Structure formats: C-alpha cells, structure tokens
Amino acid sequence: MKKRTLYYIAGGLILFGVYFYEYILDEEIKAEVVETGREVKKNTNKYFLPSTTTGYVVHHEGYSLSYSETHEQAEWVAYELKKSHLSNINHKRPYFEIDHAVETGAAHWRNYKNSGFDRGHLCPAGDRKYTKEAHDETFLTSNISPQEHQFNAGIWNTLEQKVRYWARKYDGVFIITGGVLAGEMDSIGDEHVSVPNSFYKIILDNNSGRIKIIAFLMPHENSNKPLYEFVVSVDDIEKITGIDFFPELEDGLENVLEASIDYKDWNFNKG
C-alpha cells in the first residue's frame, strides 16, 4: 500500500509539473504577444492614427485599435485598404479567438452566444482576404462589436462594399471605424460588453491628387436610406466620441477637412 501511495504521489507531482510548465509557457507567450502588439507595424500608416481616450493602442499586422476595457471592445479600429488588398479568395472562416495582445484582457467570444447580436467585425474579414493570416486576424475578439443582424448584413454591409469600391478607385483609402461608446447602452454577456447605439466610419483618400475625407454616422438599425444621408462631419463624430481623428494633419487642413460634409467627389452613384 505504501508503495502504491508513493506512485500516486509521484504521478500527481508529475502531472502538476506538466500543468505548471504549460501555464508558465502560456503566460510567457501571452507576454510576448502583448509586447509585440505595442510595436507599430510596417504596414500601419501611423501618420493617420487617431488619438486614444483609453491610453491603450494595439498594433496587429493588418490593423491597429484602441481598446476600451470599460466597454470590452475597441473604441476605434484603423487600417489602410489598398487596391492590392482586394481579393475574391474565400478563406475558411476560423473560430473567434481572444486577443492576447490586449494586456487588460479582451472580451471572450462567449459573451455573444445567445445574445441575439452578431459578432460584428470592425475591420471586415472581406477587407483582408489577401492572405489567410490577414483574414484570420480579423477574428480576434478585440475587432468585434455587438451588432443587430439586419444592421450588420444590411446598411453596414452596404457601406463596407462602397468603401471597397473607393479603395479600387483611389488605389487605397485609410479607414477608421467603431461603435460610439457614449451615453446609455445595453450590454451583453458576463463581461457586460456594451451595445453601441450607433456606429461610425471615416474614410480618407490621400492618393487622388488632393486629400479628402468623408464620415458616416449610422444609428444601430437597418435602413433603406441612401448612404449619403448618413454623411456627417468628422467634427460631429469627434464631439460624441472625444477622439481626435487626425491629430497629425496640419491644423489648417485638419480644420477644413473635419468640418466638411461635402460628398460630391465620392461618386455615390457608382460601385
């Protein structure tokens, strides 16, 4: 009996050692991912990144984001969509994964289960089909926000398709997008992921001779209205979010561009 007890103890110690080693290894990997996420990547146009109200910016290979721990989602996701990024390749849809580059811990995908809301991409998977790695990276939980299905598959999807048209036309655009994390909001899941009442998208063209900007603010509901009816000034979005979207632009140019709601140069009747 004593020998058997020693075997049990030895076996238990071995199992404990294996689990402890795996835990330490996992923590080291997470720490490495967090450190890597602080580095501005070569494909990130840092010049056009917004300010952050959270003080926490993460850089992935295909996009950057400012994560709000209070609302368990990004207050903005920013990326460049080049003509060369557009592809018809259909990659297999992966599972959603927690973004370990968010040091405070990104929300778990289970918060969305049976919530009645889609896991709405902020940087769409359709904008990152040029490689499987870029595509799969959009399935990190830091890149999603609760969206009603009719909104996600409806007017929001229509806007995403229009942005792809502009990316082709202007040989690339810079995009900043997110939910408006302000005011009274519902929440979902054990981590209380906020459900934005509206979403915004800002598009900047710097490739067609003169810099121009267009901004959209959409109530979180589907609509049959034409896209141009959702055009607002960048200033309007800054007022409700507290974010300075183009702080690196020359002040005079920034003031003119951000106050404008002129959309005549954006070809809404095509695409």
Whether residue 174 lies inside any domain: the answer is yes
Residues 13 and 147 in one domain: no
Whether residue 143 lies inside any domain: the answer is yes
Residue type, 123: C
Quick check: 50 and 78 in contact, CB under 8 A? yes
Residues 190 and 76 in one domain: yes
More confident residue, 210 or 228: 228
Whether residue 6 lies inside any domain: the answer is yes
The whole-number pLDDT of residue 36 equals 62
CATH (domain of 195): 3.40.570.10
The whole-number pLDDT of residue 252 equals 87
Residues 33 and 44 in one domain: no
Residues 52 and 100 in one domain: yes
Whether residue 261 lies inside any domain: the answer is yes
- pLDDT of 260 higher than 90: no
Whether residue 256 lies inside any domain: the answer is yes
- pLDDT of 28 higher than 50: no
Q: What's the mean pLDDT when you consider all of the chain?
A: 86
Residues 28 and 129 in one domain: no
Residues 228 and 108 in one domain: yes
Name the domain count of the chain: 2
The whole-number pLDDT of residue 22 equals 41
Residues 62 and 3 in one domain: no
Residues 74 and 205 in one domain: yes
Domain that holds residue 9: 1-37
Whether residue 258 lies inside any domain: the answer is yes
Residues 152 and 256 in one domain: yes
Whether residue 217 lies inside any domain: the answer is yes
Residues 130 and 10 in one domain: no
**Rounded to whole angstroms, how far apart are CA atoms 242 and 245?**
9
More confident residue, 44 or 197: 197
Tell me the range of 15-29, 227-241, 252-266 where mean pLDDT is highest. Answer: 227-241
Residues 161 and 252 in one domain: yes
Whether residue 271 lies inside any domain: the answer is no
Q: Encode pLDDT of 47-82 as tens digits.
A: 789 999 988 899 999 999 999 999 999 999 999 999
Chain centre to alpha carbon of residue 237: 17
**Rounded to whole angstroms, how far apart are CA atoms 43 and 85?**
12
- pLDDT of 193 higher than 90: yes
The whole-number pLDDT of residue 2 equals 53
Q: Encode pLDDT of 108-166 as tens digits.
A: 999 999 999 999 999 999 999 999 999 999 999 999 999 999 999 999 999 999 999 99
Residues 27 and 49 in one domain: no
Side-chain-side CA neighbours of 176 within 13 Å: the count stands at: 26
